[in-house]
Chains A and B, each alone.
Chain A
Amino acid sequence: MKLSVFGYELVIPTDIIAAWVSVILIGIVAGYIIIKKRKLGVVWDYMKTTNHRKIGILYLLFGIIYFFRAGVDALLIRTQLAVPNNDFWVFQGEKYNELFTTHGTLMIFFVAMPLLLGLMNIAVPLQIGAKDLAFPFLNSLGFWLFFAGSLFFNIAFFLNLTPEVGWTGYAPLSRAEFTPGAGTEFYVFGLQISGLGTIFTALNLIVTIIRHRAPGMSYTRMPLFAWASLITSFLILIAFTVLAIALYLLMFDRLFGTGFFSGDEGDPVFWQHLFWIFGHPEVYILALPAFGIFSDIISTFSKKRIFGYGTMVASIVLIGFLGFMVWVHHMFTVGLGPVVNTFFAITTMAIAIPTGIKVFNWLFTMRGGVIHFTTPMLFALGFIPSFVIGGVTGVMLSLSAADFQFHDTHFVVAHFHYVIIASTILGVFAGLYYWYPKITGYMLDEKLGKWHFWTFLIGYHITFFPMHITGLEGMPRRVYTYSEADGIFILNAISTVGAFLMGISMLFVIWNVYKTHKKKKKVSGDPWDGRTLEWTVSSPAPEHTFEPMPVIHSMDAYWYAKVKNKPLPATTNVRVKPLERDSIQPFCIAMSLFIVSTGLTFRWYWLAILGGVMLFALLILRSITDEREDFYGKSDDHA
């Protein structure tokens, strides 16, 4: 669309206009509701909060918002690919490239990560008997950094500056000579800031799990979700740090003329190494917490203790460890030679073993149990066969010579959507239905939940199964169209139908949430007849939990207490809880980094410096308003 403003010819693509209009409309409606219902106070409260449940809610809320945006991107991709030689709206060439870049980046960094971190934030402290995360201020800072990064990345689209380098940002395409616009900067800084937040939250979770468990909650009694969160957090610390440095180097390449990833003096493959040393563990960062959720849910709704707890924990640890030794299987075609390729082929295959252990242990947990088909359990059940399909295609991909064919085709697209949706997305849905009472005090409607489950699961298989075949038919990734002669029209059309079915299934979620909050039917603290500690506190989880503190004598202690019809033993002699005080500082610190990034992106260095000064001023402010000062009391003599 062409506009004439003050004599300037402005060309604004219609998709951008549509986005502006819809966001402004949604903003007006949201603003109206907030002001009409006098909820501004609630917004302010959440901006300042350091409570783990509230921060978890924020993570989930934004994760879901971005899920819808990235989902719409997916639908646009599928619409463009529905028929051969399609010319849908503006989504060919550049716009299509922007579309898959946004879809991938959002789904990994701004959907899967916050949804999982949100669930960890809410459930882990409750499961292990911690009163909050170890560092509440840092927790809030972690969220707001994620928020600032995600906001920064999302804004790019509205300025028509969407990055178009793919979510993997392969160099030298991502270097300034080939993508000179500011778009890629949004990718670099968006991920950098939110990655920093993720590192902080992971650190926080580790300290919480190591130091804040209830008395008697030994590592051998800890719920598997807590175990998975612990291992995941360690993976985050290493993987996201490597990514941070990769982005740091890319920033120098783009902004200050260095040549790390250039074809002449540097090494483009170095970027791929760094990216996948992050990227492959990232897959396990997404999958392991979901495994934990499924373990807890399958055990709860089979009314039976998890089968082979020891091997379950060991396999989580092993997967985490092996996760760092397989990254080259993303790079079989870059010419590293047969020795390297086969080595990584074998380590990749090896991951199938601990994963297999987990699958069989889940199956044998159900064996002999009484399986209740609640919505969370349905998601867990849907996960097992779906994940196995994704897992076996994973093994097929690991065979390096076969991967020469599979690599970068829709077969790969099918594979990673199979594993990530089966584990992370189904896991998050399962977790949301499961812990919704703990988060809000209400129970989501079971009937609508089941509708959601079936439409989503069927849509998911219809979408991604045909992609295995289109890939083998020779359809590469990241192409915006294909010809009739390619013979893949029907399969692509089926995929598109499936994608829209998944889209429809999400409408059930919206309806369900609306209905649930309309009804306002409160539930008890233990609506699922649960096994772990989070079900001993009331729903929603109050700000001050575990008073008095339960003492744990076995795993699933709450369940066995209920079986024996005795209350859990409790004590008041506990360690001091984390100090917390509401503060708007985390939000401001994150925003100062947002300003720095804006300055660097547009080369307005004065703004970057201003943001930097703001950042350091805020850090000093933070240091002199430390909540420990009140707790430790006034100064005695310094001498």
Chain B
Amino acid sequence: MKKVFLLSLVLLLTGCNITVLDPKSETASEQAFLITFSFWIMMIVVVTVFILFARFVWKYRYTNSRKHILPKDVKGNIKLEITWIIIPVLLLIILAVPTLAITYDQSPEWTKESEDAGIEIDVTGKQFNWLFRHRNGKEEMDKLVIPEGESIILNLRSEDVIHSFWVPELGGKVDVMPGKELTYEIKHPQRGTYQGKCAEYCGLGHTDMTFQVEVVSTQAYAQYLHQ
């Protein structure tokens, strides 16, 4: 068990080619930062517990020489117990600060004012396809073309059940709700082709409800709009 853990730790250390941790937009970078940051903070906890655990289990194990020992009762230790209240609180505060900052930064309402600065695209989810509608009225099914380096504002809406819009390289999920429009912003995507998927179970064709995202140059995007 510990071996598996160490193995994957090495994996995390060496190979940042894991999709989510290899972000291709500013939005996803912020999220990846939060993930790695919290991972290392949490490793402090894991390592502490594992060391104490291994030490106690080994040192106080039953052996023939300790057969007749009647352990002394310890009712508790206020100082120790306060220690393991204070330290986690501090760790959590360290985690909470960037969480708050990034969550506010990435939440739709927060970005409302910057809307005019971005490229707006209407996204409609329905069982089991995606429809992308660009500003000039151009529509395409299951393929989203966006320009690099811009701020992309997605207005998402569903025609039937709840779906969830997700392009791991470019950003987190946002649900696509019936009867309510949500907004999500992808900041500064990098050029490339990525796969997007539906991340909220939506019925029979959920697995196949994927789409392609192409981040292209600004000129190519302009061309695409008029194709």
Give me the interface of A with B, judged by CB distance under 8 Å: 93-94, 97, 164, 166, 170, 172-173, 178-179, 262-264, 267-269, 302-305, 307-311, 333-335, 337-338, 341-342, 345-346, 349-350, 352-353, 356-357, 359-361, 363-364, 366-373, 381, 384-386, 388-389, 392-393, 395-396, 399-409, 457-458, 461-462, 465-466, 468-469, 472-474, 476-481, 563
Taking CB atoms and an 8 Å cut-off, the chain B residues in 87-115 that contact chain A are 88-89, 92, 95-96, 99-100, 102-110
In this complex, how many residues of chain B approach chain A with their Cβ under 8 Å: the count is 91
B169-180 Cβ-contact flags toward A at 8 Å (1 or 0): 001111101111
B189-227 Cβ-contact flags toward A at 8 Å (1 or 0): 000000101111111111100000000000000000000
Determine if B178 and A268 form an interchain contact, defined as CB atoms under 8 angstroms apart: yes
Determine if B60 and A366 form an interchain contact, defined as CB atoms under 8 angstroms apart: yes
Take A401-B106, A465-B8, A472-B20 as given contacts and tell me if A345 and B174 are in contact as well, using a CB distance cutoff of 8 Å: no
The minimal Cβ–Cβ distance linking B13 to chain A, given in whole angstroms, is: 13
Q: Which residues of B contact A363 (CB under 8 A)?
A: 49, 52-53, 56
A268 vs B161: C-alpha distance when bound (angstroms): 9
Determine if A401 and B99 form an interchain contact, defined as CB atoms under 8 angstroms apart: yes
A334 vs B184: C-alpha distance when bound (angstroms): 11
Residue of B nearest to A387 (CB): B49
The minimal Cβ–Cβ distance linking A89 to chain B, given in whole angstroms, is: 16
A-B contact pairs, 25 of them (CB 8 A): A93-B204, A262-B178, A263-B177, A263-B180, A308-B76, A335-B175, A335-B180, A335-B182, A342-B104, A346-B96, A360-B80, A360-B84, A363-B49, A364-B77, A370-B62, A373-B61, A388-B45, A388-B49, A401-B99, A402-B34, A402-B38, A404-B174, A405-B32, A472-B19, A472-B20
Label chain A's interface by main secondary structure. Answer: helix
A479 vs B203: C-alpha distance when bound (angstroms): 10
Determine if B35 and A396 form an interchain contact, defined as CB atoms under 8 angstroms apart: yes
- Most A CB contacts (10 A, CB to CB) among B109, B110, B199, B204 go to B199
Take A308-B81, A357-B84 as given contacts and tell me if A172 and B99 are in contact as well, using a CB distance cutoff of 8 Å: no
Take A166-B201, A404-B106 as given contacts and tell me if A334 and B56 are in contact as well, using a CB distance cutoff of 8 Å: no
Determine if B107 and A338 form an interchain contact, defined as CB atoms under 8 angstroms apart: yes
Q: Which residues of A contact B18 (CB under 8 A)?
A: 469, 472-473
B150-162 Cβ-contact flags toward A at 8 Å (1 or 0): 0000000010111
Q: A333-B174, A370-B71 are in contact. List 16 more A-B contacts (CB 8 A).
A: A164-B203, A172-B161, A172-B178, A268-B178, A307-B75, A338-B104, A345-B100, A363-B53, A364-B74, A370-B69, A373-B61, A385-B1, A385-B53, A392-B45, A474-B19, A474-B197
The minimal Cβ–Cβ distance linking B84 to chain A, given in whole angstroms, is: 4
Taking CB atoms and an 8 Å cut-off, the chain B residues in 21-58 that contact chain A are 21, 28, 30-32, 34-35, 38-39, 42-43, 45-46, 49-50, 52-53, 56-57
A384 vs B57: C-alpha distance when bound (angstroms): 11
Determine if A404 and B171 form an interchain contact, defined as CB atoms under 8 angstroms apart: yes
Checking B21, B69, B171, B201 against A478 with a beta-carbon cut-off of 8 angstroms, the contacting residue is B201
Cβ of B164 < 8 Å from any Cβ of A?
yes
The minimal Cβ–Cβ distance linking A271 to chain B, given in whole angstroms, is: 10
Determine if A366 and B56 form an interchain contact, defined as CB atoms under 8 angstroms apart: yes
A372 vs B85: C-alpha distance when bound (angstroms): 29
A353 vs B20: C-alpha distance when bound (angstroms): 28
Take A170-B201, A363-B53, A474-B168 as given contacts and tell me if A395 and B38 are in contact as well, using a CB distance cutoff of 8 Å: yes
Q: Which residues of A contact B164 (CB under 8 A)?
A: 333, 407-408
Q: Which residues of A contact B182 (CB under 8 A)?
A: 334-335
A480 vs B203: C-alpha distance when bound (angstroms): 12
Determine if A401 and B162 form an interchain contact, defined as CB atoms under 8 angstroms apart: no
A304 vs B70: C-alpha distance when bound (angstroms): 8
Determine if B207 and A480 form an interchain contact, defined as CB atoms under 8 angstroms apart: yes
Take A97-B204, A268-B177, A357-B85 as given contacts and tell me if A389 and B76 are in contact as well, using a CB distance cutoff of 8 Å: no
Give me the interface of B with A, judged by CB distance under 8 Å: 1-2, 4-5, 8, 11, 18-21, 28, 30-32, 34-35, 38-39, 42-43, 45-46, 49-50, 52-53, 56-57, 60-62, 66, 69-77, 80-81, 84-85, 88-89, 92, 95-96, 99-100, 102-110, 127, 158, 160-162, 164, 166, 168, 171-175, 177-180, 182, 195, 197-207
Residue of B nearest to A403 (CB): B172
A308 vs B82: C-alpha distance when bound (angstroms): 11
Determine if B74 and A305 form an interchain contact, defined as CB atoms under 8 angstroms apart: yes
- Most B CB contacts (10 A, CB to CB) among A302, A363, A461, A462 go to A363
Determine if A334 and B207 form an interchain contact, defined as CB atoms under 8 angstroms apart: no
Determine if B205 and A93 form an interchain contact, defined as CB atoms under 8 angstroms apart: yes
The minimal Cβ–Cβ distance linking B90 to chain A, given in whole angstroms, is: 11
Determine if A384 and B53 form an interchain contact, defined as CB atoms under 8 angstroms apart: yes
The minimal Cβ–Cβ distance linking A20 to chain B, given in whole angstroms, is: 25
The minimal Cβ–Cβ distance linking B42 to chain A, given in whole angstroms, is: 4
Determine if A349 and B95 form an interchain contact, defined as CB atoms under 8 angstroms apart: yes
Checking B5, B72, B96 against A349 with a beta-carbon cut-off of 8 angstroms, the contacting residue is B96
Residue of B nearest to A355 (CB): B88
Checking A345, A388, A403 against B46 with a beta-carbon cut-off of 8 angstroms, the contacting residue is A388
Residue of B nearest to A101 (CB): B201
Checking B52, B161, B200 against A178 with a beta-carbon cut-off of 8 angstroms, the contacting residue is B161
Q: Which residues of A contact B45 (CB under 8 A)?
A: 356, 388, 392
Determine if A371 and B20 form an interchain contact, defined as CB atoms under 8 angstroms apart: no
A264 vs B160: C-alpha distance when bound (angstroms): 10
Q: Which residues of B contact A309 (CB under 8 A)?
A: 75-76
A333 vs B85: C-alpha distance when bound (angstroms): 31
Take A337-B107, A338-B110, A472-B19 as given contacts and tell me if A389 and B5 are in contact as well, using a CB distance cutoff of 8 Å: yes
Determine if A345 and B206 form an interchain contact, defined as CB atoms under 8 angstroms apart: no
Residue of A nearest to B158 (CB): A263
Take A311-B76, A349-B95 as given contacts and tell me if A476 and B199 are in contact as well, using a CB distance cutoff of 8 Å: yes
Determine if A408 and B56 form an interchain contact, defined as CB atoms under 8 angstroms apart: no
A104 vs B109: C-alpha distance when bound (angstroms): 35
Determine if A353 and B85 form an interchain contact, defined as CB atoms under 8 angstroms apart: yes
A386 vs B171: C-alpha distance when bound (angstroms): 30
The minimal Cβ–Cβ distance linking B112 to chain A, given in whole angstroms, is: 11
A395 vs B164: C-alpha distance when bound (angstroms): 23
Determine if A479 and B207 form an interchain contact, defined as CB atoms under 8 angstroms apart: yes
